[in-house]
Amino acid sequence: MTDTVIIAGAGPTGLMLAHELALQRVPVVVVERRPGPTDALPGMAINATVVDLLHQRGLMDHVGEYGFEFPRAHFAQIWLDPVRVPGRHGYNFVISQTNLVRVLAERAAKQGAEIRWEREVVDLAQDDAGVRVTVRSPGGQEVLTGRFLVGCDGPESAVRRLAGIDFPGQDLPFLGIVGDLEVGEDHPLLAYLGAGEFPGGLLTVGPLEPGVVRIATAEFDLRPADRTAPVTTDELRDSIRRLDGAELGDATPRWLGRWDAATRQADRYREGNVLLAGDAAHVHFPLGGQSMSTGIEDAVNLGWKLAATVHGHAPVGLLDSYQAERYPVAARAGRTTLAQMVLLHPLGHVAPLRELLSEMVELDEVNEFLVKLAYALDVDYPVPADQVAGETHPLLGRRLPDVPLRTGAGETSLAELLHAGRGLLLDLAGGAGPLALPGWDDRVDVVAAAPSDEIDAARVLLRPDGRVAWAQPTGTDRTEPTEGLGRALATWFGPARASAAG
């Protein structure tokens, strides 16, 4: 078997994972059944968590030119005010999923990942050593061998089915249409720009480029006559009429597709050498950019753990921490998006509750709670009990805001120090020099920086995904590595190199 990691699906999750693995010098092959990049992708925005994760790898520098900052958030389309939340907290970014995917594909390839289009995973076998993946292409079938296969192949995931993993949950009666329309200057649909709620469901119209709008209809309590049939212009026309009596008028579709209101989650994220991430592992109603953020943070969580396993220095249980950390996040996203659906339909019934909630979000604490939920900034990972024994800290398991830092080499930022995807011991104690970690210097960088008011710790150990693995309280002993730091290093990075241990 080879060390190659095979990824099924070149969506945002698969490409982010390919980037993470290639950054760690793991051979990666992405197989994608589409013939090439497509404009027919539904997403229009990424939330603050995705923005942070992209900054952390320097990818916002490439994504930035395709969109704009949108410092708003909503809960069930009740608008929140992120600007009122104290501290540094990021922003939503409006970008089409098409452009996001294009940039991620370019950056992953630049790091060395190989993307093979028009290759569909159709069969799978595995043993202790790795996987054999049968892939169909126009030229016939071939078998790829690798160490791991990661199914990032979306809601209908073939990898999940072939691995025998269930996908329990619920599908509500729903008729959803999404697509891009070429419209004239005074087109009647332009009066609907934004996200509107109606008794039958939702109508969202967003500007995509001059003369083109992205439209999404969502009708609750209805089902398409044939879910597999292509959407026709007449079907879209009828849907818009049912929602608000509006007329589609003279509009030319560039593409139209269907979407569902399913909330489902794989019963496990790993079966031997096969793992799942993104929509292949969980689906929920797409509200507020939580969908891609759950998938992209899956990829960032999994990438360095798979890489450590392939490179042979993963501590016991590292790969299993992927499910332990990420399953509860998607489960909560499923629950909180279901809660939002309850607030959206039937509108007449829930209107008083929406009115009450609209008043409540004027309260700073309610606004902050919901902004953090929509931005996925409230996600903490549980820290293994044997690691913390006696040494706990409120920052453990959290991501830190991207704060500016001053080091001996000049001005930098926390995100910049994480670009290489390595562990980072950030020494903010202001002492004579940073701690030395000779046994881990192949995996962990040590950087001393001037103390920051925005990080309440003397030292923090960050994992490659930016999560705090250990923190030393401000004002405590500055000179000696503590036992807790040693335990955290061993838990997340494995034992010290034998040659450096003594």
Ligand X SMILES: Cc1cc2nc3c(=O)[nH]c(=O)nc-3n(C[C@H](O)[C@H](O)[C@H](O)COP(=O)(O)OP(=O)(O)OC[C@H]3O[C@@H](n4cnc5c(N)ncnc54)[C@H](O)[C@@H]3O)c2cc1C
Query: Rule CB under 6 A: which residues touch ligand X?
Result: 8-14, 31-34, 42-46, 97, 120-121, 152-154, 158, 178, 216, 259, 278-279, 286, 289, 291-293, 295
Q: Rank residues 203 and 468 by Cβ distance to ligand X and give the closer one.
A: 203
Q: Look at the block and give the residue holding tokens 């501290």.
A: 87
Please report the DSSP string for 295-363 in residue order. HHHHHHHHHHHHHHHHHT-PPTTTTHHHHHHHHHHHHHHHHHHHHHHHTTSSHHHHHHHHHHHHHHTTS
Residues 6+ apart with CB under 8 A from 210: none
Nearer to ligand X, 157 or 387 (CB): 157
All residues at 6 or more sequence positions from 264 whose CB lies less than 8 Å from its CB, including other chains:
155, 167, 168, 169, 170, 171, 282, 283, 334
Closest CA to 176 of 256, 113, 75, 250: 256
Q: Which is nearer to ligand X, 46 or 302 (CB)?
A: 46
- The dihedral formed by the CA atoms of 393, 396, 398 and 402, expressed in degrees to the nearest 10: 70
- DSSP character at residue 482: P
From the CB of 30, what's the least distance to ligand X, in Å? 9
> Widest CA span of the chain, in angstroms?
77
The sign one gets for the Cα dihedral 25, 27, 33, 35 is positive
Taking the complex as a whole, how short is the minimal distance between the CB of residue 295 and ligand X, in angstroms?
Answer: 4
Provide the 8-state DSSP code for 467.
B
Q: Which string of b and e fits 359-368 if b means at least 16 CB within 10 Å?
A: eebeeeeebb
Distance between CA atoms of 403 and 413, rounded to whole angstroms?
Answer: 6
Q: What is the DSSP letter of 34?
A: S
Cβ atoms of 448 and 466 closer than 8 Å: no
Based on CB atoms, which residue is closest to ligand X, 298 or 427? 298
Nearer to ligand X, 8 or 370 (CB): 8
Supply the minimum distance, in Å, between the C-beta of residue 276 and ligand X: 10
Which among 451, 454, 446 has a CA at the least distance from the CA of 481? 446
For 444, residues 6+ apart whose C-beta sits below 8 A from its C-beta are 422, 423, 424, 425, 437, 461, 489, 493
The distance of closest approach from Cβ of residue 240 to ligand X in the complex, given in angstroms and rounded to an integer, is 15
Q: Shortest Cβ distance from residue 157 to ligand X (Å)?
A: 7
- Backbone phi, then psi, for 204, in 5-degree steps? -120, 130
- Shortest Å, Cβ 299 to ligand X: 8
* Pair 189, 183: CB distance under 8 Å: yes
Distance between terminal CA atoms of the chain?
Answer: 35
d(CA 330, CA 333): 5
Helix (H, G, I), strand (E, B) or coil at 156: coil
Closest contact distance (angstroms) between CB of 288 and ligand X is: 8
| Nearer to ligand X among residue 291 and residue 323 (C-beta) | 291
In the complex, the smallest distance separating the C-beta of residue 95 from ligand X, rounded to whole angstroms, is: 9
Residue 50: CB minimum distance to ligand X, A: 7
Minimum distance from residue 314 beta carbon to ligand X (Å): 24
Task: Pick the closer one to ligand X by CB: 13 or 239.
Answer: 13
Comparing CB distances to ligand X, the nearer of 118 and 416 is 118
Separation of CA 109 from chain center: 19
Q: Which is nearer to ligand X, 11 or 439 (CB)?
A: 11
Whichever of 30 and 418 has its CB closer to ligand X, that residue is 30
In whole angstroms, how close is the CB of 428 to ligand X at the nearest point? 33
Of 325 and 427, nearer to ligand X (C-beta) is 325
